[in-house]
Every structure is written in C-alpha cells, then in structure tokens.
Amino acid sequence: MNELVLKTLVDDQDAQRILAAKAPGLRVESAKLRHHPFAGFIFEVPQLAGRSGQAHALVDYYSGKAFVCDPWQAEDAETGQVLDRVADPQWNTIDFDTARRRAKALLSTAALRRARLAWRGGVREKSSVAKVWKPNWMVEASLEKKSYRVMVDGLNGGYFIIGS
C-alpha cells in the first residue's frame, strides 16, 4: 500500500503565534503533532476550449469528506519522523473505492459548476495514494486560568477548538 506524509508547513511556533494573535495572553502548554489519514487522488480534469489540467483531491477516511486541494508536498523521508496516527473512531469510516468515487464526484461537480453546461465531462484518474497522512497540531493551552484544547492545521494554520 503506497503512503505519503504531507510536509508540515506550520510548525509549533507558528501554531502558538496564530492562537496568541486571536487570544492575547493565551499560553501554549504543549503541542503535539498528529497525523490524520486521507485517500489521495490526482485527476486529469478537462476544462474548456480543449484545455485540461491536473487536480489533486483528498478524501478523509474517517468522515468521508472530499476536498479539492493544492498539489501535495511530501515530507522529507530523511527526517525519519515517527507518526502519531489518529485512531479510527469507526463512525463513518469509508474504504478506498468509496473515497475514489467521492473524489471523482466532487471534481466532476466542481468542474461542471466552474465551466457551466458547456463542459463535456471526462474526468480521468491519473494516480492515487492509498494513505496520505496530513499533519495537525494538538495544542493544550491556557488563558485566564482556563484550559483549552485546540487543533491547528499543519498545512495552512487554520484552527479548531475541541474543548475547554
């Protein structure tokens, strides 16, 4: 099974700065890098006027949600990083074929909406990666004597509060 680990573009210091910018006084107690599994696909997507191009898509194995995304940047293999993989909660977990269908449906719909009805279809899978591991920071932080647990996206710095 082919796997790929996405490069962590936002480090723990960046994560801290992002949260502190939103809540001055917030103190990060710890930041742990965890990896979430996606199925990855590269499709050839016809555009208009005979043009076509590549598009990358990721599908979350645990929720089934598909995304169009930027081309992947792989983590340097020499770092020898040991991944802290998120365990399968068995909620809506999907298999690889379902992920493939969802990715293709998403790209077809997106292309149709963008190109309108002059689009002819013809989305074709070029390659796939069975497991793409996406980095996220699990941050424990405190502010005014309250503790917070926040996830910070290791690719773009977006964050989500898990609890307090």
Partner 1 sequence: MSIEILFLVIYFIAMAAIGFWAMKRGKQDAEGFLLGGRSLGPGVTALRLQSSSMSGYMFMGAGSMGYTQGYFSMWYALGDLGGGILNLSVLGRRMRKLSQILGSITSIEYLEHRYPSKWIRLIAAPVALFCMFFYVLAQFIAGGRGLEMVSGVSFPVALAIAIGVIVLYTFLGGYLAVAYTDFVQAIIMVVGMVWILVATLMAVGGFTKGNETVGGINPNLLTMWGADLGYQGQWGVILGALLVFSIGYMGWPHVVVSHMAMKKPSVARTAGVYSLVFNLLFIPGPYLVGLFALILLPNLANPETAIFEVADAVLPTFAVGIVMAAIMAAIMSTADALLLQAGTIASQDIYARFINKKMSDAQMVWVSRITVLALAIIGYGIAAFDPPAVAAVVIFSTTVLGSAFVPSYICAVWWKKANTVGAISSMAAGTLVSVLWQVSGAPDATGIDPMVTGILASTAAMVIGSLASQKSHPVPEHIGRALDETAKIGPIPKKMLMGQDALLASQAEMAARGE
Find, among 92, 61, 73, the residue nearest to 154 by Cα.
73
Least distance to partner 1 from the beta carbon of 12, Å? Answer: 16
Distances (CA, A) of 74 to 45, 65, 86: 23, 21, 19
Find, among 126, 127, 123, 119, the residue nearest to 50 by Cα.
119
Rule CB under 8 A: which of 21-40 touch partner 1? 22-23, 26, 34, 36
Residue 63 engages partner 1 in binding (rule: CB under 8 A): yes
Strand, coil or helix: 48:
coil
Q: By CB under 8 A, how many residues form the interface with partner 1? A: 75
Find the binder of partner 1 among 106, 129, 132, 133 (CB under 8 A).
106
Report phi then psi at 110, rounded to 5.
-65, -40
Residue 121 engages partner 1 in binding (rule: CB under 8 A): yes
Of 77 and 87, which CB lies nearer to partner 1 in the complex structure?
Answer: 87
Partners of 124 in beta bridges: 44
Residue 127 engages partner 1 in binding (rule: CB under 8 A): no
Residue 126 engages partner 1 in binding (rule: CB under 8 A): no
Residue 69 engages partner 1 in binding (rule: CB under 8 A): yes
Residue 82 engages partner 1 in binding (rule: CB under 8 A): no
